[in-house]
Amino acid sequence: MNDSSYSQKRLEKKRKPELKYNEEVEIIIKKHLDVVVLSLIKKKPMCGQDIIKEIFAQFDVFINQSSIYPILYSLKDRNVIEVHPLKGDLRTKIYVPTEKGMDLIDEKLNDFALALNYMLSLIR
Q: What confidence score (pLDDT) does residue 23 get?
A: 87
Positions of the chain with pLDDT under 70: 1-21
pTM: 0.76
Predicted pLDDT of residue 5: 54
Q: Which residue type, as a one-letter code, is found at position 83?
A: V
Instruction: Enumerate domains of the chain plus CATH numbers.
Output: 19-123 (1.10.10.10)
pLDDT at res. 88: 78
Q: How far apart are CA 80 and CA 65, in angstroms?
A: 20
Per-residue model confidence (pLDDT) at position 14: 47
pLDDT of residue 24: 87
Can you tell me whether residue 122 is helix, strand or coil?
Answer: helix
Q: What is the tens place of the pLDDT at every residue in 13-34? A: 444 556 555 888 899 999 999 9
